[in-house]
Amino acid sequence: MGRHTRGPADDRPQALAHEWSAAPSDALRWSAGGDLSAVDPSSTPGWEGGKAEATELVAAHADELSELQERLFAEGRSGGSRAVLLVLQGLDTAGKGGIVRHVVGLVDPQGVMHRSFGAPTEEEKAHGYLWRIRNALPRPGHIGVFDRSHHEQVLVVRVEGLEPRAEWEAHYDEINAFEAEVVASGTTIVKVALVISRDEQKQRLTERLERPDKYWKYDPGDIDTRLRWDDYVAAYQDMLDRTSTEVAPWYVVPADRKWFARLAVSELLLDALRSLDLGWPAADFDVEAEKRRLAGS
């Protein structure tokens, strides 16, 4: 499909959505037996449009995303227990922060619970690795966003040898059990692995070293991580193979093109919200009686 003709303004989101040749959730969902190293980080699976159309579709879907978030929030305030958790994983510079700013930033901050997970603090270390994760789970009605997550326990912990193999090997099943429990409690989990190329990472790190307003994003440890690239790819491969489940599947998003990664995550998030079939909560009071009380007040 090439450029489409422009329809009336109201049809625009729908027309743009047709640039997807497959539903994003199908095109990006990790399939068992897949080969991560075969994923082209500059590809745009399922998307036949370009950057302009992608940017336009994100903007066109912003109102729906925002309204569904408000419905979820309303449900949470009315006794509902559902929530959504967006998990973002990816190597340094993969664009996790940009997605938070440009995609999560489209909805009301009141309904967002964002948390970044770096190296654990002393207090956190005194507990199991899921302790700080549990504490950061979204409350009912909220969209939680994890910038890195419990999955680092089978990524950095494994690659850097922070635990012996027998320990980190046990985490895959623990993670699956934990996520099944979270899903059973009413939280829809959307797990996104952002995939960038070595070249693109080099370019992004170079930019951080060339711009004084980006120094703060640079960490010399990023190079150490970079030097273990293949080990990380292997760890990501196993994470995908062993923690992509029916209830909490992984979506693999090529991220060399920032505009595609942002489009993909906004569509996956929208998809998750749509799947909840959110209405507005019914009044749990007598509307007419309250109108009379208000009139007399």
The answer to whether the CB of 86 falls within 8 A of the CB of 144 is yes
Closer to a second copy by CB, 1 or 287: give it.
287
Block residue for tokens 């070595």: 198
* Min dist. Cβ of residue 278 to a second copy (A): 11
* Distance (Å) of CA 255 to CA 62, 105, 116: 21, 19, 19
Q: Which is nearer to a second copy, 184 or 285 (CB)?
A: 285
Q: How far is the CB of 102 from a second copy (least distance, A)?
A: 9
Q: Which residue has the tokens 């491969």?
A: 237
Q: Compute the least distance from the CB of residue 70 to a second copy, in Å.
A: 8
141: left (phi over 0), alpha (psi -120 to 50) or beta: left
Kindly give the pairing relationship between strand 250-254 and strand 143-147. Answer: unpaired
Q: How far is it, in rounded angstroms, from Cα 206 to Cα 218?
A: 10
Say if CB 31 and CB 25 are below 8 A apart.
Answer: no
Taking the least distance from each CB to a second copy, the nearer of 12 and 228 is 228
* Site residues for a second copy per CB under 8 A: 74-75, 77-78, 97, 100-101, 104-105, 108-110, 112, 114, 116, 145, 147, 202, 205-206, 209, 212-213, 215-218, 220, 223, 226-227, 280-283, 285, 287, 290-291, 293-294, 297
Residue type, 205: L
Considering beta carbons, is residue 38 or 295 the nearer one to a second copy?
295
- Of 72, 4, 41, nearest to 276 (Cα)? 72
Output 5 or 297, the one with its CB closest to a second copy. Answer: 297
